[in-house]
């Protein structure tokens, strides 16, 4: 299985490298950075598979933390008095990932939406700066939802119990959703470049076209068909998962685009110099992973 | 001995910590790697600034580079003074209007004569984030006395959010140190040099 992943990655890297020789525009650069992040994901995955799964919990936790830090840094909606409150928000990361690591499903499920959604407003109130407090009360927990709660579902795949007739296990599901989400981005982009005419949401993301979206959707469903060996799904369930991932990935993508537009930024940070930030890498995943997680959970694990 | 300690503290411990936990980025720092003597001139918002600048130095540069700090602040007691001299390599000077020890600029000038480098915050103390306060004259005088000396303007953005003046708990936020090209002062009088340095710093801000 690992051999397949690396074969695909080598193929993608070589393809984009050749494309870059002919036309090294910002879009090809974008594809290259995406492949780079896949390499990192693949490396983490391989280390986790060969050494110790705890490594991946740590890696995903760090990803959540970096994304939260980036969002807190670029946000115009956080007041200077909220510094210490942001510290509490960061503390939610190790706790949420500890629950994921231990496989404690109920605490994992309620910690952010029930506990942190109360705790953040509570400590804000204790601080006592009431001017614009309502804005901080809604923005900080929402950041947690988007960067910590959602991404932690990727880690929880590794804690799912073993099914008797499905030997690949949670690792396969994790790989399935990460791969399809990233591929969907590239498919949408490529189809949009080739046939894009009708813009979907011109004001937010001028590159998103209906043709790109439909093309990406169909390609992702086809890819889901071929990757179903990573999942316990029946064929029609795998196709449904492809549809779900394509749609939710698209939603995540345009949400981050809209946020960037609001803050007047093109890229959300500079994780790697000259490239986009971490949020740009995980935008689609932040929405597709919890949706796919519960899709799988309701079908096979509940 | 101190050289090894400084290397371990800054390159091996501090730098990864600043980078991965606090979210600090260094931009353009490689330009002054090969310089033996220089003055790093930066705006000042946080204690993190000194740590981040020290973490950008090479093993060779570390031992002979001294952040300049006020003795009234860091020399408050012996213990703190020793710590900041040993681990931060600080030169403690008295602000011009306090005390009657050796003149601060003479002390700094002597270090420069020995071939040492300085980390210098011309605003004197930590100001409001991202706002440049007026400069103290010192940097202008030093650059006038040493016209061959290279200075490197460094604009520090965002550290005032991580650990502002008066705060004790660092909170991770993204911050960037933008290094300008090493250069020498062209003007000959102190005020003109101060303007030069100020403009060099501000020109990095917009990028």
Note which residues in 250-279 of chain A have CB less than 8 A from chain B: 269-270, 273
Residue A90 contacts B where some CB pair is shorter than 8 Å:
yes
- Measured between CA atoms, the residue of chain B closest to residue A63 is B20
Using DSSP, state whether A53 is helix, strand or coil. coil
Residue A74 contacts residue A263 (beta carbons within 8 Å):
yes
User: pLDDT at position A12, please?
Assistant: 78
Q: Given an 8 Å threshold on Cβ–Cβ distance, is B172 in contact with A269? A: no
Buried b (16+ CB within 10 A) or exposed e, A133-150: beebbebbbebbbbbbbb
User: pLDDT at position A67, please?
Assistant: 94
Round to whole Å and give the CA distance between A221 and A228: 10
User: pLDDT at position A274, please?
Assistant: 36
pLDDT tens string A31-62: 777 777 777 777 777 777 677 788 889 989 99
ipTM reported for the complex, 2 dp: 0.87
User: pLDDT at position B102, please?
Assistant: 64
Round to whole Å and give the CA distance between B147 and B198: 17
Closest CA–CA distance from residue A301 to any residue of chain B (Å): 36
Domain extent listing, chain A: 1-51, 53-159, 165-302
Residue B176 contacts A where some CB pair is shorter than 8 Å:
yes
A–B: how many Cβ contacts below 8 A?
35
Round to whole Å and give the CA distance between A108 and B117: 52
User: pLDDT at position B100, please?
Assistant: 57
Closest CA–CA distance from residue B15 to any residue of chain A (Å): 16
User: pLDDT at position A266, please?
Assistant: 65
Q: Given an 8 Å threshold on Cβ–Cβ distance, is A69 in contact with B173? A: yes
Query: Distance between alpha carbon A162 and the CA centroid of its chain, in Å?
Result: 24
A283 Cβ neighbours under 8 A, 6+ residues apart: A252, A253, A255, A256, A257
User: pLDDT at position A179, please?
Assistant: 86
Q: Would you write out chain B's pLDDT as a tens digit for each of its 207 residues? A: 778 888 898 989 999 999 999 999 998 888 888 888 999 999 998 989 999 999 999 888 888 899 988 776 666 677 777 777 778 888 887 766 555 556 788 888 888 889 999 999 988 878 777 778 888 888 888 898 888 899 999 999 989 899 988 888 999 999 999 999 999 988 888 889 999 999 999 998 865
User: pLDDT at position A279, please?
Assistant: 86
Q: Given an 8 Å threshold on Cβ–Cβ distance, is B164 in contact with A83? A: yes
C-beta neighbour count of A7 within 10 angstroms: 10
Round to whole Å and give the CA distance between B163 and A226: 51
Round to whole Å and give the CA distance between A88 and B171: 10
Domain extent listing, chain B: 2-205
User: CA dihedral defined by B93, B99, B102, B105, rounded to 10 degrees?
Assistant: 50
Residue B1 contacts A where some CB pair is shorter than 8 Å:
no
Residue B174 contacts A where some CB pair is shorter than 8 Å:
yes
Q: Which residue, among A70, A71, A72, would best test binding to B if mutated, counting the most B CBs under 10 Å from its CB?
A: A72
**pTM attached to this predicted model:** 0.89
A191 Cβ neighbours under 8 A, 6+ residues apart: A211, A212, A214, A215, A216, A219
Residue B140 contacts residue B191 (beta carbons within 8 Å):
yes
> What residue ranges of chain A have pLDDT lower than 50?
271-276
Q: Given an 8 Å threshold on Cβ–Cβ distance, is A270 in contact with B161? A: no
Q: Which CATH class is domain B2-205?
A: alpha beta
């Amino acid at each position: 299985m690992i051999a397949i992943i690396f074969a695909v990655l080598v193929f993608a890297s070589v393809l984009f490298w050749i494309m870059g020789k002919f036309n090294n525009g910002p879009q090809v650069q974008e594809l290259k950075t995406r492949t780079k992040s896949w390499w990192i994901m693949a490396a983490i995955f391989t280390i986790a598979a060969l050494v110790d799964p705890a490594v991946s919990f740590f890696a995903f936790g760090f990803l959540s933390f970096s994304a939260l830090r980036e969002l807190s840094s670029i946000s115009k909606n956080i007041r200077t008095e909220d510094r210490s409150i942001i510290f509490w928000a960061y503390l939610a990361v190790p706790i949420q990932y500890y629950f994921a690591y231990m496989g404690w499903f109920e605490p994992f499920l309620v910690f952010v939406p029930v506990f942190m959604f109360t705790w953040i407003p509570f400590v804000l109130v204790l601080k006592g700066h009431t001017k614009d407090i309502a804005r901080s009360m809604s923005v900080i927990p929402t950041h947690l939802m988007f960067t910590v709660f959602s991404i932690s579902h990727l880690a929880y795949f590794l804690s799912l119990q073993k099914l008797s007739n499905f030997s690949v296990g949670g690792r396969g599901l994790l790989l399935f959703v990460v791969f399809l989400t990233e591929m969907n981005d590239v498919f949408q982009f490529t189809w949009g470049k080739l046939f894009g005419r009708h813009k979907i949401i011109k004001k937010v993301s001028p590159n998103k076209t209906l043709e790109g979206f439909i093309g990406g959707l169909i390609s992702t469903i086809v890819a889901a068909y071929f990757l179903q060996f990573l999942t316990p799904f029946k064929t029609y369930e795998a196709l449904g998962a492809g549809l779900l991932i394509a749609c939710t990935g698209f939603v995540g993508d345009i949400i981050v685009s809209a946020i960037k537009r609001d803050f007047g930024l093109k890229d959300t940070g500079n994780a790697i110099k000259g490239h986009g930030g971490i949020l740009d890498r995980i935008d689609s995943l932040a929405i597709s992973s919890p949706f796919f997680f519960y899709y799988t959970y309701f079908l096979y694990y509940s | 001995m101190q050289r090894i300690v400084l290397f371990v503290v800054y390159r091996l411990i501090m730098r990864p910590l600043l980078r991965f936990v606090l979210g600090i980025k260094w931009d353009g720092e490689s330009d002054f790697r090969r310089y033996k003597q220089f003055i790093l001139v930066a705006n000042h918002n946080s204690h993190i600034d000194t740590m981040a600048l020290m973490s950008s130095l090479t093993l060779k540069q570390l031992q002979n580079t001294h952040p300049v700090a006020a003795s009234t602040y860091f020399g408050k007691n012996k213990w703190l003074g020793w710590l900041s001299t040993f681990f931060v390599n600080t030169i403690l000077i008295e602000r011009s209007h306090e005390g009657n020890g050796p003149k601060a600029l003479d002390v700094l000038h002597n270090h420069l004569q020995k071939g040492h480098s300085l980390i210098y915050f011309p605003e004197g103390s930590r100001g409001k984030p991202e706002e440049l306060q007026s400069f103290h004259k010192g940097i202008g005088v030093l650059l006038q006395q040493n016209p061959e000396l290279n200075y490197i303007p460094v604009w520090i953005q965002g550290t005032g959010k991580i650990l502002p003046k008066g705060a004790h708990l660092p909170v991770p936020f993204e911050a960037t140190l933008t290094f300008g090209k090493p250069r020498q002062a062209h003007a000959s009088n102190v005020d003109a040099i101060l303007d030069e340095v100020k403009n060099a710093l501000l020109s990095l801000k917009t990028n």
